[in-house]
């Protein structure tokens, strides 16, 4: 379920995440939950009616490995997003609806829209790992390179992407604008727009939000 005033371009992404087997919730720049899927209910216990519209910090009350309050109104993840910085993988202990602690691994994607940004939180239970291990940086276990994931994908559309297009897709998922992509890759904005258009055509989607949704569903990012 998602809040009905979401920007139209992002609606296909939100709908595609509804049926995701991974627990996903999305917050806006005010730290309010605007999307909550069924998998998130199974992991954390809250129904979408309870979660959507609630401050993330009040709902989940996340703490670090030592029990220090991490989720607050001065959310460090939001602070990174406000500076347009990439949010790295991190571990966090969240509270369920019954106020039981659950250790989780969290990845965050930034979506940029006309009204600001949205933060897509992908939540996975950390299993039997210790609380300390749950907050180790992702560098300890580096993720598969995006290009390897694309080349190994079972979806022929993904395998059409070039290495540079995979790089651009990752930047789109991180919330980078076309000018930012051009600057980071030392290319013109026209070339950056051309890469983005090629990505949309090859993945057979109509917007950057749908491209990110495709990449997420196919485990490309």
- pLDDT per position as a tens digit, 60-77: 998 876 677 888 877 888
Question: For residue 136, what pLDDT is reported?
Answer: 42
Quote the pLDDT of residue 216. 76
User: pLDDT for 137-159, tens place per residue?
Assistant: 433 344 444 556 666 777 788 88
- Give me the sheet containing 116-125, strands edge to edge: 33-36, 23-28, 116-125, 101-113, 90-95
Residue (of 149, 119, 145, 152) closest to 215 by Cα position: 149
Low-confidence ranges of the chain (pLDDT < 70): 1-7, 9, 65-66, 113-115, 127-151, 221
Residues whose CB falls within 8 Å of the CB of residue 138, separated by 6 or more in sequence, listed in order: 88, 89, 90
Percentage of the chain beyond pLDDT 90 is 25
Distance CA 84, CA 75 (A): 14
In the chain, CATH 3.30.450.20 covers 8-140
Architecture in CATH of 8-140: 2-Layer Sandwich (3.30)
Supply the pLDDT for residue 143.
41
Rg of the chain over Cα atoms, rounded to whole angstroms, equals 17
Delimiting residues of CATH 1.10.10.10 domain(s) in the chain: 146-217
Q: What is the pTM (predicted TM-score) of this model?
A: 0.59
User: 147, 68 in Cβ contact below 8 A?
Assistant: no
pLDDT (0 to 100) of residue 139 = 39
The DSSP bridge pattern shows strands 116-125 and 101-113 to be antiparallel
Q: What is the pLDDT of residue 109?
A: 85
The structural architecture, per CATH, of the domain 146-217 is Orthogonal Bundle (1.10)
């Amino acid at each position: 379920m998602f809040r009905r005033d979401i920007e139209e371009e992002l609606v296909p992404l939100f709908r595609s995440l509804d049926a995701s087997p991974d627990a996903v919730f999305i917050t806006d720049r005010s730290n309010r939950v605007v999307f909550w899927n069924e998998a998130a209910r199974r992991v954390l216990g809250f129904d979408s009616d309870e979660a959507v519209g609630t401050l993330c910090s009040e709902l989940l009350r996340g703490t670090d490995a030592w029990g220090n309050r991490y989720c607050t109104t001065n959310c460090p993840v939001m602070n990174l997003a406000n500076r347009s910085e990439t949010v790295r993988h991190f571990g966090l202990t969240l509270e369920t609806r019954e106020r039981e602690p659950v250790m989780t691994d969290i990845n965050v994607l930034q979506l940029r829209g006309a009204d600001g940004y949205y933060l897509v939180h992908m939540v996975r239970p950390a299993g039997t790992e210790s609380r300390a291990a749950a907050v180790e940086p992702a560098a300890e276990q580096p993720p598969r390179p995006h290009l390897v994931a694309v080349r190994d994908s079972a979806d022929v559309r993904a395998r059409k992407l070039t290495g540079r297009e995979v790089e651009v897709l990752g930047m789109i998922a991180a919330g980078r604008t076309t000018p930012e992509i051009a600057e980071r890759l030392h290319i013109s904005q026209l070339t950056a727009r051309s890469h983005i258009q090629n990505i949309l055509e090859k993945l057979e989607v109509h917007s950057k939000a749908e491209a990110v949704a495709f990449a997420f569903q196919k485990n490309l990012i």
